[in-house]
Amino acid sequence: MTNPERFKNITPSALPSRIEELGEPKFRAKQIFKWVYQKRVGSFGEMNNMPKTLRERLSGLFTLQKMEPLFIKESKFGDAVKFGFSLVESPHLVESVLLYDDDRRTACLSSQLGCALGCVFCQTGKMGFIRNLTQEEIIGQLIGINDYLMSKSDKLVTNIVFMGMGEALSNFRNFLSSLQIIMHEDAFNIGGRRITVSTAGVIPSIERLMEEELNIGLAISLNAFTNEQRDRLMPVNRKYPIESLVSIAKSYFNKTGRRVTFEYVLIEGETDSLEAADTLQRFLGGFPCKINLIPLNPSSDSVLRNTSDSNLERFSDQLHQRGLSATIRKSRGQDIWGACGQLSGRMIDR
């Protein structure tokens, strides 16, 4: 007997025809979709507005098995929770983070196991690229986080950032179909204004994203102020240098009306100088964009050091004086290794 197909890998656009192929009316696809992504059931047996025979038939063909959280670590500061989900397609763990901000519940999702881009300050980059996550493995993180919030009688996820492991735009197909589920009113119903994808700046993928007209937020990890320095810290810069990032950010704004965020990690003696502030003004001044200053989080074997709090404040002031819109991203989840650049997808022993 063959294994049942993993239902959550069926794309939303393929689902109606897959259900019709079974000789079922179209409205069933909508019903099932709601049960799986809105009510987050783990079996077809629970779909009590459908005939029992159909439920049994679906159970034989497909599985709704969930990705189990192997660990859930709550930050002692109460503002972040890190999850390690066991994957179904390989013996790895994928990590995701839930962040609390007043009324907001933001899920920071992973899109790949490891990452091919090898930024020197990033723990995920150190793993190298293992593989893309499937649609089910991306959405499964969100399902797991919502199950957790529900168990706490809390509200469900309101915002999504693709800032976990990997480059979502380099896993374009699965990223896109996951977004369709995230944004769908019968599923997670989270609008483009509350979704952001972060990229190290793979220009052709950003162009492709623009063609989709999803109106989601774009964040570009800049992290350096000269090409020489960015080549060293983020090897992808050799292909897509700073000028090309600035140019695509302008196009993104013109096309979507959304200001692009530039993420900028503060590394002591590297990226936190007065010269850096001047140069950023030359690159980013005069067009609508935002700068997100991120304190460097420690990774296991890096020699790079975080800038001091006072330097961080000073740098932020210098950017403001130069007319740039900069905010400091509070570092959360450090005590649970859930902060930016600290996620890794270890192997697990089942």
Specify the long-range contacts of residues 327-331, CB closer than 8 Å, at least 24 apart. 327/290, 327/291, 327/292, 327/293, 328/293, 328/295, 329/263, 329/292, 329/293, 329/294, 329/295, 331/294, 331/295, 331/297
In order, the DSSP letters of 83-99 are EEEEPSSSSBEEEEEEE
95 counts as catalytic: yes
In order, the DSSP letters of 310-328 are HHHHHHHHHHHHTT--EEE
Per annotation, catalytic residue among 46, 89, 95, 185:
95
Judged by beta carbon, residue 148 or residue 162, the one nearer ligand SF4 is 162
Which of ligand SAH, ligand SF4, none interacts with 163 (beta carbon under 5 to 8 A by kind)? ligand SAH
CB of 129: closest distance to ligand SF4 in angstroms? 9
Contact residues for ligand SF4, defined by CB under 6 A: 115, 117-119, 122, 124-125, 166-167, 200, 221, 341
Per annotation, catalytic residue among 119, 122, 289, 340:
340
Contact residues for ligand SAH, defined by CB under 6 A: 115, 121-122, 163, 167, 198-200, 221, 223, 263, 265, 294, 296-297, 299, 340-341
Which of ligand SAH, ligand SF4, none interacts with 297 (beta carbon under 5 to 8 A by kind)? ligand SAH
**Residue the block writes with tokens 């996820």:** 157
Judged by beta carbon, residue 47 or residue 94, the one nearer ligand SAH is 94
Residue nearest ligand SF4, CB atom distance: 125
Report how far residue 204's alpha carbon sits from residue 240's, in angstroms, rounded to the nearest whole number. Answer: 10
CB of 291: closest distance to ligand SAH in angstroms? 12
Q: Which helix (H) or strand (E) holds 198?
A: strand 195-199
Judged by beta carbon, residue 63 or residue 299, the one nearer ligand SAH is 299
Residues 275 and 225 sit within 8 Å (Cβ to Cβ): yes
Which of ligand SAH, ligand SF4, none interacts with 80 (beta carbon under 5 to 8 A by kind)? none
Judged by beta carbon, residue 24 or residue 95, the one nearer ligand SF4 is 95
List the one residue out of 200, 183, 176, 16 whose CA is nearest residue 119.
200
CB of 265: closest distance to ligand SAH in angstroms? 5
Which of ligand SF4, ligand SAH, none interacts with 137 (beta carbon under 5 to 8 A by kind)? none
CB of 312: closest distance to ligand SAH in angstroms? 12
CB of 99: closest distance to ligand SF4 in angstroms? 17
Q: Give the Cα-Cα-Cα angle 192, 198, 203 (nearest 5 degrees).
A: 100
Residue nearest ligand SAH, CB atom distance: 341
Q: Is 27 exposed, middle or buried (0-12, 13-18, 19+ CB in 10 A)?
A: exposed
Phi, then psi, of 267 in degrees rounded to 5: -115, 125
Pair of tokens at residue 222: 């800049």
Which of ligand SAH, ligand SF4, none interacts with 260 (beta carbon under 5 to 8 A by kind)? none
CB of 300: closest distance to ligand SAH in angstroms? 10
Judged by beta carbon, residue 15 or residue 127, the one nearer ligand SF4 is 127
Judged by beta carbon, residue 96 or residue 146, the one nearer ligand SF4 is 96
Report how far residue 111's alpha carbon sits from residue 115's, in angstroms, rounded to the nearest whole number. Answer: 9
Report how far residue 104's alpha carbon sits from residue 210's, in angstroms, rounded to the nearest whole number. Answer: 26
For the annotated catalytic residues, the residue numbers are 95, 340
